[in-house]
Amino acid sequence: MNRHPFKSRRARRGQRGFTLITVLIAIFLFGFGLLAILRSLGNVTGGATQNQIVATTATISNGFWGVVQANPSIVTSSALLSGGTAVTFTSANITSAPAALQPWLYSLTDTSSNGLPSGTAKIETWKDPVTGAACSASACAITLTLTWASSKTTTRTQVFYYQLGL
Give residue 122's pLDDT: 93
- Crossing angle of the two packed helices 102-109 and 20-70, in degrees rounded to 10: 180
pLDDT exceeding 70 applies to what percent of the chain? 81
Is the full-model pTM beyond 0.75? no
Any idea where the domains of the chain sit in the sequence?
Answer: 52-165
pLDDT digits (tens, 9 = 90+) for 111-149: 777 788 888 999 988 877 677 777 777 778 889 999 988
90, burial (CB in 10 Å: exposed 0-12, middle 13-18, buried 19+): middle
Question: If pLDDT is split at 50, 70 and 90, which confidence band does 2 have?
Answer: low
- Rounded to a whole number of angstroms, the CA Rg of the chain reads 32
Give residue 42's pLDDT: 65
Q: Dihedral, CA atoms, 41, 45, 48, 52, nearest 10 degrees?
A: 170
Name all contacts of 47-53 with Cβ < 8 Å and 24+ positions apart. 50/150, 50/156, 53/116, 53/117, 53/148, 53/150, 53/156
